[in-house]
Structure formats: C-alpha cells, structure tokens
Structure 1
Amino acid sequence: MEEEISESSDISLRPLQLSDLDDFMVWASDDRVSRFCTWNTYTSREAALNYIKETVIPHPWYRAICLKNRVVGAISVNKPRSGDDDSCRGELGYALAAKYWGRGIATRAVKLVVSSIFKDWPHLVRLEALVDVENIGSQRVLEKVGFQKEGVLRKYLIVKGRILDLVIYSLLSTDLKFVT
C-alpha cells in the first residue's frame, strides 16, 4: 500500500476545463476506474471532449480532484434521480486514477466537498452516496469522512447490463459538527 497523503498536501478541487482533457483521459480511459461508475470507459478523445463540454462545464457542482493542480479524478454532487428540483438531497459521486488509490486522496476530496457543499447549496440537508457492494474502498472513504451506512438497496440499479446491489450512505448537514 502506498503512503497516505497528508492533510496538508496539495489536494484541491476546481472546475474541470477543456485543457484538462489529457489528464482526464488518463483515468477516464481506465476500465479499473470506470468499473464502479455509471459511465463507460472513454476510448475516444472526441467523446471525452464532448462530455466535458456538454455535461461537465454546465454541471452545477462538478469538480476536478487535483494533486499539485494536476487532474487525477473528479467529484460531483447531483440532484437525485427523482427529478425533484427543490430536493433537500444531493448525490455524491467520484472517480480517482487507479495509481492514486489507497493514498487518502479520495478521502480528502470528499472532506473538501463536505466542507463546502452545504454552504454552496443552502437548501441541501442530506448528502448521499450509492456504492456498489463490491466497492469496499469507496465504502471506507465515506466511512472515514463520517457518512453513515444506512443499508443495502438490493437489485437497485441496472448499470452496464448488471443489476446492482448498492450500499446507501448519508451525511446530514446536522452531522457536520461530528465530522473531523
């Protein structure tokens, strides 16, 4: 296991830009990274560029995860799938280049989101994350940050032709005083 990144290291979040395409392709074209994501592995720079232009840039809360200002992943908060525009819930999702797994970067990125999302979106009361039951690493990230495991949603979602069991985690705005 690689050495964990310290809290004081240069991990930051910023908007993803078209000029980040090469760094984006490093992890978005990796089947290991996309395995637990709803999106398919990017095999074309043109498709990735279109995704950044049409989905990422206009997205209300999508950030690049940067290590020393180099994009090594992405993290976003989406409105829930229910389509309720005034929802008090947001859904957290993230992906990180495989070479940085196990080093505390995803944990730090999630902490950065938690420290700002409830201020950025004052209507938000609940931040939730749905994680494939097989994605133990992501479950550990959420637990380290203070998310509560609420249970397993059996046969909850079809992704890439597979019917998945998902673990649901949540963090409430009132939980923030307990998050370190």
Structure 2
Amino acid sequence: MKNSVILKKIEQNDIRCWWEKRYGPQADLEWMKYNGPYFNDPIQGWEEFYDFHQSKTLNNPMRKLIVYNNQIVGEVSAYWEDGELKQWLEVGIIIFNANSWGHGIGTLAFKQWIEEMFDLFNYLPHVGFTTWSGNVGMQIIGDKIGMQKEGVIRKVRYWENQYYDSIKYGILKDEI
C-alpha cells in the first residue's frame, strides 16, 4: 500500500476535483465532525474555494493532496504556530471519505508528510499537531507513527453542549 499513497503538490488542474472531494454536492462531509468542529467552519462554495486556493495553495510546499490509487482522498497541511519566527511547525491531515478511514492511508500519508517537513525545514528539531479528545482517529495516527502525547489541556473544546480536551502530539527529528 505504501507505494499507492502519494503526496502530490497542488496544481491548477487539481482544484476542481479537490473541491468536489472536500465540499462538492457528492462529498462525504463526515470529516468535518472531527476537524475542529467547534470552530464552525463553513462549507465553502466552488468560487470561494477556487479564489482562495488559486492564489494561496498552488505549488505551496505547506499543503499537498493525498492520492491513493490515483484518486484524491485527502490533504495534508502545515503552518507556523509561531508565525514569522518559523520555529514551531504544526501539521494536519484530512481524509475526506469516511469509507477510507481505518485502512492505514492516513497513517502512511501523515508519516510521509512529517518526514517531508523535516527534510524541507531541516533545522527544525520538532513537528507536532493539535487535536481534540473527540477525534480518536487522529490520536491513533499519532501513536502509530511514534509521536508522543505532549500535552492535554482539559475541557477547553466545547462542542454540542459538551467539553472536550485539546491534545498536543509531537515528534523529534531524531525519533523518526
């Protein structure tokens, strides 16, 4: 399976298919229930999605598509937690269709992504991500690829009349 999970730079001709998989009329929006749902991010329409990604994402090394068996199945991303200092890198992953969860695709893609980020920013000793206690799948991925649970901020994520923990995971370059 490893060879069939590819991280692909985003090109102009990918944007429409990417939007279709992420938000389109046939999209499985189950992923939105786990990707920080407490932020109430909207479902983006085609024009809004296109305009943003046309200018911000094409050939951006901080965001790639996950391709499995020649189909876009998700995306990986990275951002600087500390802004212009560029010393604290956080990463993320979304697998769009719930039918693709639990098959190791996310684990392989996320491991590749973290290795790629360490290669791209070879001065960094640490890469991490933040999730919440309602996203068990993300915690499993972190554990599977050898990340450490570095912090739990208890009962700070409020969703559907319930409080959840915010959870930080990280890995050091010499641990991969």
Q: What interval of TM-score do these two structures reach, taking the shorter chain for normalisation?
A: 0.7 to 0.9
Which residue does the alignment assign to 2:46? Answer: 45
Instruction: Note if 1:32 corresponds to 2:30.
Output: yes
Superposition RMSD on alpha carbons, in Å? 2.7
Aligned counterparts of 2:78 and 2:100: Cα–Cα separation in 1: 21
Superposition deviation, residue 47 in structure 1: 1.4
Aligned counterparts of 1:58 and 1:65: Cα–Cα separation in 2: 14
Distance verdict in 2 for CA 1:88–1:18, change over 3 Å: same
Superposition deviation, residue 138 in structure 1: 1.0
Q: Calculate the TM-score normalised by the size of structure 2.
A: 0.81
- Any gaps of 5 or more consecutive residues in structure 2? none
Which residue does the alignment assign to 1:74? Answer: 75
Alpha-carbon contact 1:26-1:97 (below 8 Å) kept: no
Superposition deviation, residue 134 in structure 1: 0.5
Aligned counterparts of 2:170 and 2:31: Cα–Cα separation in 1: 23
Aligned-residue identity in percent: 22
Which residue does the alignment assign to 2:92? Answer: 93
Residues 24-72 of structure 1: CA deviation (Å, up to 9, x unaligned): 2243224311223357353411111123113322744111111133211
Of the structure 1 ranges 119-128 and 15-24, higher mean CA displacement relative to structure 2 is found in 15-24
Which letter does structure 1 place at the counterpart of 2:169? Y
Aligned counterparts of 2:155 and 2:10: Cα–Cα separation in 1: 33
Instruction: Note if 1:17 corresponds to 2:15.
Output: no
Secondary structure of residue in 2 paired with 1:102:
coil
Which residue does the alignment assign to 1:168? Answer: 168
Q: Calculate the TM-score normalised by the size of structure 1.
A: 0.80
Alpha-carbon contact 1:89-1:125 (below 8 Å) kept: no
Superposition deviation, residue 88 in structure 1: 2.6
Distance verdict in 2 for CA 1:151–1:131, change over 3 Å: same
* Length, aligned pairs only: 168
Superposition deviation, residue 77 in structure 1: 1.5
Distance verdict in 2 for CA 1:165–1:56, change over 3 Å: farther
Q: What pairs with 1:52-67 in structure 2 (closer than 5 Å)?
A: 52-57=53-58, 59-67=60-68
Which residue does the alignment assign to 1:127? Answer: 127
